[in-house]
């Protein structure tokens, strides 16, 4: 199973791809989609970039970190539109879409829902055996992908015990 993890933003969207074979995780790639210009142009660019990433890596699942928005309504609306583009791309490509809160992602990686971004990044590198520099948006996206894989494993393990 290949999972595309996304850390959405209206100016920067991190992405990371993780493959699970058996119970082994493999790193496939990561990056940050930089979005400039007016909002409609940024949304179109996001659509194009996600479509290209999906064509290149052929994930079966998209896992998204739900944005934490407590500051202002304008930011919340923009992030909602970004999430709408992600949902559209998933639907058009026939991919399942899952959402995880920042606290769920942090807890899945570090065991602590209030871990720092640096702590999450450290665990991502450890879990995937990475030694190269990761941008925080990309490591957050990889964390979302790993969180999804761990969640599926837990559900499967619980179902097997019944």
Q: Which residue in the list 7, 20, 30, 140 is annotated as catalytic?
A: 7
Catalytic annotation present for 7: yes
Catalytic annotation present for 30: no
Tokens encoding 93 = 């490509």
Measured CA to CA, the distance from residue 138 to residue 158 in angstroms comes to: 30
Tokens encoding 29 = 């790639």
Q: Which residue in the list 30, 104, 137, 140 is annotated as catalytic?
A: 137
Measured CA to CA, the distance from residue 119 to residue 21 in angstroms comes to: 26
Q: Please check whether residue 148 is in contact with residue 19, taking contact to mean a CB–CB distance below 8 angstroms.
A: no
Tokens encoding 48 = 């194009």
Q: Which residue in the list 30, 65, 104, 140 is annotated as catalytic?
A: 65
Q: Which residues are catalytic?
A: 7, 65, 137
């Amino acid at each position: 199973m290949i999972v595309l993890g996304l850390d959405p933003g209206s100016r920067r969207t991190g992405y990371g791809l993780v493959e699970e074979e058996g119970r082994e995780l493999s790193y496939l790639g990561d990056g940050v989609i930089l979005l400039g210009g007016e909002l409609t142009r940024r949304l179109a660019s996001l659509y194009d970039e996600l479509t290209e990433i999906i064509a290149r890596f052929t994930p079966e699942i998209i896992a998204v970190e739900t944005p934490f928005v407590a500051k202002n309504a304008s930011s919340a609306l923009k992030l909602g539109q970004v999430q709408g583009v992600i949902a559209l791309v998933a639907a058009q490509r026939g991919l399942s879409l899952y959402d995880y809160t920042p606290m769920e992602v942090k807890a899945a990686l570090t065991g602590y829902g209030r871990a720092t971004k640096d702590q999450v990044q450290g665990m991502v590198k450890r879990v995937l055996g990475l030694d190269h520099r990761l941008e925080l948006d990309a490591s957050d996206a990889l964390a979302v992908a790993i969180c999804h894989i761990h969640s599926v494993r837990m559900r499967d393990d619980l179902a097997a015990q019944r």
